[in-house]
Structure formats: structure tokens, C-alpha cells
């Protein structure tokens, strides 16, 4: 199975690199495996495209399972670009997850692509509903669909902040990934590709994601994420022996001092007293 997983991972990476030629990673990667109640998972990933489409965005993520789902917090940076956000997943079935991510990103002044003035600051808010299958020991591959709803605001020294809530940018994405866990160590490897074949905004309407740029300073093609996570190994449940077990256990050997021989600690059974027999009229005992 390992060669097959390696071939599929290579194919996913090639497809992702072909699509990720511009844009900015707007989805944080999280393990596709469902968490047990009270379980923490720590993960990290490198997401392309990042700053100026070349430098990846490095993200860290912490997830906590609470029974029917999990919650998460993440932060990331690509030198002059920073983001932070929250996530929540619901386990619809043991093989299906429904999640929502909320993310805020800021690109510092002078670092916004295609900004001729070199003084603009870009701020983005992203909401990402997502429906994907789960991964487990016998099913390392997963897939699904998602949508990125993005609003952007620009700050220019002369005009201040410019923000129009109605000028949003909608992406429809296809998700495919590999989530492989090394059971003995609790360390997992993950590769994820998101393709954006369709986009919508108020200016261009429905179009290919590479063409419907709108107010964003870049088109969107897709996203490639590579990373790993750690799931702490669970200790086997310890069964405490009952009081009756120790009372009924056979004699145990005790280590004597070195100058004394080994001996068993014998317990003599308690002897029950026999009742005195009764006699009939002729003096014969009755049993």
C-alpha cells in the first residue's frame, strides 16, 4: 500500500503546483481524521501560494475534540503577511465532516502586489464552509468541496480605509488530500490540494477563478498545503483489582532478608465448629 500512497501523493503535489501560480492561500489545513473526546492535536503546514506567490505561508494549528466535533485555533505568517482565525467541525457521520473556518489576514504597507503607490495596506476576512470525507487507518485519502467567501478592505494614506460589504469574492473549490498516520508514534503526514474552477463577484459575475479578480490584487487558481500533525498516544485503560480479588487470592511469596530462606506465607483456613448432634428417645444420635 505504501508505493500506491507515494504515487498518489506525487500526483496531488504535481497537480497542486500546476494550479498554484498566483493568489494567496486562504484555507488552513487540518487533519482529516476525527478526534476523540478530550483529545488535542497540534499541526503545522506550509501553504502555497504565500507572499509574492513564492514564499509559503507557515501556519500552526491546535485542535480539540469535544465529542460530536472539534474546535481549532490557527495562526500563520509569510514574512509581510499575517493571519489568524478559528475553526469548527461537526462529525455528520464517521466518514463525513462539515466545517467552518473564519480567518483574518493583513498584508503590510508597501507589500501589496500590483500596488503602484507602494503605500496601501490590505486586510481580508474569509469564511470557508467545507464538506469533506474523513480519513482513518484503512482510508488515508479524502476529498470534498468548499467555498471561500472573501471580503477585502484597502487602506491608503490619502483616502483612509475603503470597504464595501457588498463587494465580496466567492470561490468554489474542489478538495483532495492524503492523511497518513504512523500509529506507533502518533505523528501524521498530510498533503492537500484545493482547485478553484469557479468564482463569482459583483463586477465579473460568474467566471473562471483566474479571471474573476474583482477588488482583489490577484487572481485565484488553487492552493497546495504540505504539513504534519501530532496526536498524543492514548494509554491503555488501567483496571483496578477489586477488594474481593485480593481477599480470595492465593498466598503470595514475600522476599525475606538475604540471610533467611524463602518461605510461603500460609493462611490456615478457619475451622467451623460442628454443631452437637441431637438424640432420640432411645439415645441414638440424629444426623
Q: What global pTM score does this model have?
A: 0.70
Q: What is the pLDDT of residues 234-285, one digit of tens each?
A: 665 555 555 554 555 555 555 556 666 555 555 666 666 667 777 767 766 6
Across the chain, mean pLDDT equals 77
Which residue in 195, 193, 191, 194 sits closest to 229, CA to CA? 191
* 16, pLDDT greater than 60: no
Instruction: Tell me whether residue 195 is exposed, middle or buried, using C-beta atoms within 10 angstroms of its C-beta: 0 to 12, 13 to 18, 19 or more.
Output: buried
| Grid cell locating 139 | 482510508
Q: What is the pLDDT of residues 133-144, one digit of tens each?
A: 999 988 999 999
Q: What is the 3-state secondary structure (H, E, C) of 256-272?
A: CCCCCCCCECCCCCCCC
Q: Is residue 229 within 8 Å of residue 41, measured between CB atoms?
A: yes
CA distance 273 to 203: 102
Which residue in 114, 146, 91, 76 sits closest to 213, CA to CA? 114
Residue range 73-84: average pLDDT?
A: 89
- pLDDT band at 1; cut points 50, 70, 90: low
pLDDT at 218: 52
CB atoms within 10 A of CB 32: 25
If you search the block for the grid coordinates 507515494, which residue do you land on? Answer: 6
Q: What is the pLDDT of residues 176-208, one digit of tens each?
A: 999 999 988 999 999 999 988 888 877 777 766
| Grid cell locating 184 | 506507533
69-77 and 187-201 strand pairing: unpaired
Q: How many CA atoms lie within 13 A of 104 on its CB side?
A: 5
User: Is the CATH number of domain 2-230 2.40.160?
Assistant: yes
* 111, pLDDT greater than 90: no
Q: Is residue 31 within 8 Å of residue 190, measured between CB atoms?
A: yes
Q: What is the pLDDT of residues 152-178, one digit of tens each?
A: 888 888 778 888 776 778 888 899 999
pLDDT at 18: 41
pLDDT at 129: 96
CB-based contacts of 71: which residues, under 8 Å, 6+ apart?
63, 64, 86, 87, 88, 89
CA distance 287 to 272: 17
pLDDT at 14: 38
Q: How many CA atoms lie within 13 A of 197 on its CB side?
A: 3
Amino acid at each position: 500500500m505504501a508505493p500506491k500512497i507515494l504515487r498518489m501523493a506525487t500526483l496531488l503535489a504535481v497537480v497542486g503546483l500546476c494550479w498554484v501560480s498566483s493568489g494567496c492561500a486562504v484555507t488552513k489545513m487540518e487533519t482529516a481524521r476525527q478526534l476523540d473526546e478530550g483529545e488535542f492535536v497540534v499541526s503545522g503546514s506550509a501553504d502555497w501560494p504565500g507572499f509574492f506567490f513564492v514564499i509559503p505561508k507557515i501556519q500552526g494549528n491546535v485542535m480539540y475534540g469535544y465529542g460530536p466535533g472539534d474546535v481549532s485555533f490557527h495562526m500563520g505568517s509569510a514574512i509581510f503577511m499575517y493571519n489568524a482565525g478559528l475553526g469548527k467541525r461537526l462529525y455528520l457521520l464517521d466518514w463525513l465532516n462539515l466545517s467552518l473556518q473564519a480567518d483574518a489576514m493583513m498584508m503590510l504597507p508597501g507589500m501589496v502586489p500590483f500596488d503602484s503607490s507602494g503605500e496601501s495596506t490590505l486586510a481580508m476576512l474569509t469564511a470557508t464552509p467545507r464538506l469533506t470525507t474523513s480519513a482513518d487507518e484503512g482510508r488515508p485519502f479524502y476529498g470534498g468541496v468548499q467555498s471561500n467567501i472573501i471580503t477585502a478592505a484597502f487602506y491608503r494614506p490619502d483616502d483612509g480605509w475603503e470597504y464595501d460589504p457588498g463587494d465580496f469574492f466567492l470561490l468554489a473549490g474542489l478538495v483532495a488530500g492524503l492523511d497518513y498516520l504512523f500509529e506507533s508514534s502518533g505523528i501524521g503526514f498530510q498533503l492537500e490540494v484545493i482547485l478553484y474552477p469557479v468564482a463569482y463577484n459583483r463586477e465579473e459575475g460568474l467566471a473562471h477563478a483566474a479571471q474573476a479578480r474583482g477588488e482583489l490584487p490577484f487572481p485565484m487558481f488553487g492552493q497546495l498545503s504540505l504539513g504534519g500533525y501530532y496526536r498524543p498516544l492514548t494509554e491503555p485503560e488501567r483496571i483496578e483489582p477489586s477488594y474481593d480479588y485480593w481477599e480470595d487470592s492465593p498466598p503470595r511469596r514475600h522476599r525475606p532478608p538475604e540471610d533467611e530462606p524463602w518461605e510461603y506465607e500460609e493462611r490456615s483456613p478457619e475451622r467451623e465448629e460442628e454443631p452437637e448432634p441431637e438424640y432420640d428417645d432411645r439415645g441414638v444420635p440424629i444426623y
